[in-house]
């Protein structure tokens, strides 16, 4: 869950490239940061700081940068082993301070390795698992950094992406990957290694994605890629389909509000070229090779965690209602430990924005071992999940930088709805209903635009309620996952304790919490269970509870019953939950902003959870 950067190129660019790369990766970890640059004479310049990147920049302003050379490494940390201290901050170094490295992942056998090294007289200066790697590389070093790294890798158990430099070989970088993401940006006489492409895109759009068990050696202005046993590999250079501007705030105060406000466009991008209106069908080019297999499936399992799990919960309803097939959403951290019922007639869909979530990767492998067809819905091209699944669909919504997911949730939900329509047409879904759903999907960008116009009204509601420390969110049927997602958002970025639940659960325990100090946000569109939700609201009001409704435009009954109302356009029941999510995103954003919090980088969280 840390962010790593390595640079080989021009001495005038090394510092800026490393620091700018860290800024782009700060969403991956931000409790400390550091850099190390190897000078031509073999001296190593290193600076570290506790906190965000700006603290590292302050340290660098005090420094003499005249000796900076063209090779350096950098790291932004999300702590797994050891608290955020300067000693635990990366880059880590060997006892002789000749070997320096940065690491993303967890070394599972580090305690055993540490004991072995300590028995040989090695003294440790940190509490991290990473430091054992530096000492191991030193122990194997005999003038060739690559060989020392290769020998070290045979000792490591766990997940890692590492970038290593040596004071004895100032113009060399060696990097390796197993279980954690690593990508190489390739430009003329310049190379950037990073945890993801957001740190690279300002330098080049040409990248190489690494598989587990691969190593790259950058030396004398050239790179070679091998497996861990030194067999040469030929890797394809891929071109990133978004530019540097997509990874900036675009004039907004935060990435989060930018990503919320651009959802009309990302909805359009998610379904562009995929809807065949005349035949009421869906065309996913990434699923063409497995379409016949999909038609034979008897059960669907949707994998996700966090926000992706809530889109999976919504999809569970879509598949059963629209495609007429048993479906179940599964949390990936629990999936492989519960002996799930999976066989060759099960279609498993893995949903992940980053495509690197460690729990999801493990769950996919478990499903594959049981014979399931596994496909993915991924936003990040070239990510691990996109490579290990048999087929899949990309979101095509550009980078999502803010830690809290917004546009990815709506995109995932739309694409899952389209999956359900596609499978439904294979299983007897009527042309009339399929066309009606698809027409409404095509209309969703306009519905989103109308809903986003409520931003100023929602901000006023946030001003009214942002000091409340407890909230309840309720919804039913399609809007139950929306309640879960709304509660998650305000927890993530507003640090507000919030419960998401089905309206039907209310009287089974939760109603004990209702009083004049406990606001409830009720998602109550005019749909097939509208009257049930009205009854739930009346139960709350009878106990002096405060109710904020997300309701269909023009609903006077809700307006008379509730304390405050956020209106969304009238739309089909299947579409409503996706649009209804937007006001809850805006509410959480404004609550967090008014509470003076770091909206894009909430405490203790990282965007891509690449360790278990």
Residues 309 and 513: their CA atoms lie apart, in Å, by: 26
Residues 296 and 170: their CA atoms lie apart, in Å, by: 58
Token pair, residue 266, equals 């990302």
Tell me the longest C-alpha to C-alpha distance in the chain. 79
Token pair, residue 424, equals 């439904």
Residues 529 and 565: their CA atoms lie apart, in Å, by: 18
Is residue 137 within 8 Å of 164, Cβ to Cβ?
yes
Using CB atoms within 10 A of its CB, is residue 604 exposed (0-12), middle (13-18) or buried (19+)?
Answer: exposed
Using CB atoms within 10 A of its CB, is residue 296 exposed (0-12), middle (13-18) or buried (19+)?
Answer: exposed
Task: Say what the alpha-carbon torsion angle 78, 80, 82, 86 is, to the nearest 10 degrees.
Answer: -20
Worst-scoring range by mean pLDDT, 238-242, 342-346, 404-408?
238-242
Spatial CA neighbour of 133 closest among 144, 149, 118, 116: 149
Is residue 502 within 8 Å of 483, Cβ to Cβ?
yes
DSSP state of 416: H
Which residues are CB-neighbours of 289 under 8 A, at least 6 positions away?
390, 391
Residue 413, pLDDT > 70, answer yes
Is residue 305 within 8 Å of 299, Cβ to Cβ?
no
Active-site position among 177, 328, 491, 607: 607
Report the b/e string of 10-36 with b at 16+ CB within 10 A.
ebebbbebbbbbbbbbbbbbbbbbbbb
- The residues that bridge with 58 in the sheet, in sequence order, are none
- Find tokens 């003038």 and name the residue: 143
Using CB atoms within 10 A of its CB, is residue 462 exposed (0-12), middle (13-18) or buried (19+)?
Answer: buried
pLDDT at 478: 96
pLDDT at 202: 84
Residue 67, pLDDT > 80, answer no
Spatial CA neighbour of 310 closest among 571, 577, 602: 577
Q: Is 271 a catalytic residue?
A: no
Active-site position among 2, 89, 271, 562: 2
pLDDT at 99: 96
Worst-scoring range by mean pLDDT, 175-179, 198-202, 377-381, 607-611?
607-611
Query: Mean pLDDT of all residues in the chain?
Result: 91
What tens digit of pLDDT does each residue of 460-500 get? 999 999 999 999 999 999 999 999 999 999 999 999 999 99
Residues 366 and 40: their CA atoms lie apart, in Å, by: 48
Residues 499 and 487: their CA atoms lie apart, in Å, by: 6
Distance of CA 101 to the CA centre of its chain: 25
pLDDT at 381: 78
Token pair, residue 332, equals 């990936």
How many residues make up the chain in this entry? 612
Residue 506, pLDDT > 90, answer no
The full DSSP string for 179-219 is BS--EEEEETTEEEEESSGGGTTTT-SEEEEPPTTEEEEEE
What tens digit of pLDDT does each residue of 548-593 get? 999 999 999 999 999 999 999 999 999 999 999 999 999 999 999 9
Token pair, residue 238, equals 């891929």
Is residue 92 within 8 Å of 32, Cβ to Cβ?
no
Query: Which phi and psi (to 5°) does residue 19 adopt?
Result: -65, -45
Give ∠ CA 75-32-116 in degrees, rounded to 5: 70
Residue 369's pLDDT band, with cuts at 50, 70 and 90, is very high
pTM of the model: 0.78
Is residue 245 within 8 Å of 411, Cβ to Cβ?
no
Q: Is 570 a catalytic residue?
A: no
Spatial CA neighbour of 246 closest among 264, 259, 260, 263: 259
Worst-scoring range by mean pLDDT, 128-132, 380-384, 387-391, 445-449?
380-384
Residue 448, pLDDT > 80, answer yes
What tens digit of pLDDT does each residue of 195-231 get? 888 888 888 989 999 988 999 999 988 999 999 999 9
Residue 606's pLDDT band, with cuts at 50, 70 and 90, is low
SS (H, E, C) 31-72: CEEEEEEECCCCCEEEEEEECCHHHHHHHHHCCCCCCCCCEE
Domains, the chain, ordered by start: 3-247 (3.60.20.10), 249-452 (3.40.50.10490), 454-601 (3.40.50.10490)
Residue 308, pLDDT > 70, answer yes
């Amino acid at each position: 869950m840390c962010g790593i950067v390595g640079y080989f190129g021009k001495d005038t660019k090394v510092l800026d490239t490393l620091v700018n790369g860290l800024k782009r990766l700060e969403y991956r970890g931000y409790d400390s940061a550091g850099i190390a640059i190897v000078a031509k004479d073999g001296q190593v310049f290193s600076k570290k700081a506790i906190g965000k990147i700006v603290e590292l920049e302050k340290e660098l302003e005090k420094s003499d940068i005249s000796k900076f050379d063209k090779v350096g490494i950098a790291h932004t940390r999300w702590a797994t082993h050891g608290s955020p201290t300067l000693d635990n901050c990366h880059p880590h170094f060997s006892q002789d301070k000749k070997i320096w490295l940065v690491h993303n992942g967890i070394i599972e056998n580090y305690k055993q390795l540490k004991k072995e090294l300590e028995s040989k007289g090695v003294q440790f200066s940190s509490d991290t698992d990473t430091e054992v790697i530096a000492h191991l590389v030193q122990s194997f070093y005999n003038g060739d950094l690559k060989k020392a790294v290769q020998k070290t890798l045979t000792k490591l158990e766990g997940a890692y992406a590492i970038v290593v430099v040596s004071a004895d070989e100032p113009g060399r970088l060696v990097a390796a990957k197993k279980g954690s993401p690593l990508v190489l940006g390739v430009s003329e006489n310049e190379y950037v290694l990073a945890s993801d492409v957001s740190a690279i895109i300002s330098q080049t759009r040409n990248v190489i994605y690494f598989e587990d068990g691969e190593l790259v050696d950058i030396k004398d202005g050239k790179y070679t890629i091998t497996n861990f046993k030194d067999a040469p590999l030929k890797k394809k250079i891929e071109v990133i389909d978004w530019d540097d501007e997509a990874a900036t705030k675009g004039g907004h105060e935060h990435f989060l509000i930018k990503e919320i406000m651009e959802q009309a466009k990302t909805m359009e991008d998610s379904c562009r070229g995929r809807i065949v209106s005349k035949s009421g069908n869906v065309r996913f080019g990434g699923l063409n090779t497995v379409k016949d297999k999909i038609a034979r499936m008897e059960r669907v399992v949707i994998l996700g965690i966090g926000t992706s799990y809530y889109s999976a919960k919504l999809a569970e309803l879509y598949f059963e209602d629209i495609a007429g097939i048993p479906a179940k959403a599964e949390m990936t951290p629990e999936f492989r430990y519960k002996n799930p019922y999976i066989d060759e007639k099960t279609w498993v869909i893995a949903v992940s924005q980053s495509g690197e979530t460690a729990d999801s990767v493990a769950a996919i492998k478990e499903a594959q071992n049981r014979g399931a067809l596994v496909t993915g819905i991924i936003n990040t091209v070239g990510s691990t999940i996109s490579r290990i699944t048999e087929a899949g669909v990309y979101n095509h919504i550009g980078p999502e930088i803010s830690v809290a997911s917004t546009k990815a949730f709506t995109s995932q939900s739309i694409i899952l709805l389209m999956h359900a329509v596609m499978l439904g047409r294979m299983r007897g879904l009527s042309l009339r209903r399929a066309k009606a759903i698809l027409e409404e999907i095509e209309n969703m960008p306009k519905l989103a635009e109308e809903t986003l116009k409520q931003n100023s009204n929602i901000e006023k509601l946030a001003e009214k309620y942002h000091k409340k420390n407890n909230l309840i969110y309720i919804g039913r049927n399609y809007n139950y996952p929306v309640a879960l997602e709304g509660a998650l958002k305000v927890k993530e970025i507003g640090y507000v304790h919030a419960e998401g639940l089905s309206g039907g659960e209310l009287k089974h325990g939760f109603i004990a919490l209702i009083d004049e100090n406990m606001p409830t946000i009720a998602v109550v569109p005019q749909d097939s269970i509208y009257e049930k939700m009205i009854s739930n609201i009346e139960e709350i009001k009878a106990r002096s509870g405060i109710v904020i409704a997300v309701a269909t435009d023009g609903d006077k009954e809700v307006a008379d019953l509730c304390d405050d109302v956020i209106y969304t356009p009238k739309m089909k029941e299947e579409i409503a939950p996706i649009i209804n999510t937007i006001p809850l995103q805006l509410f959480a954003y404004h609550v967090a902003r008014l509470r003076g919090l770091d909206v894009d980088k909430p405490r203790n969280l990282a965007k891509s959870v690449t360790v278990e």
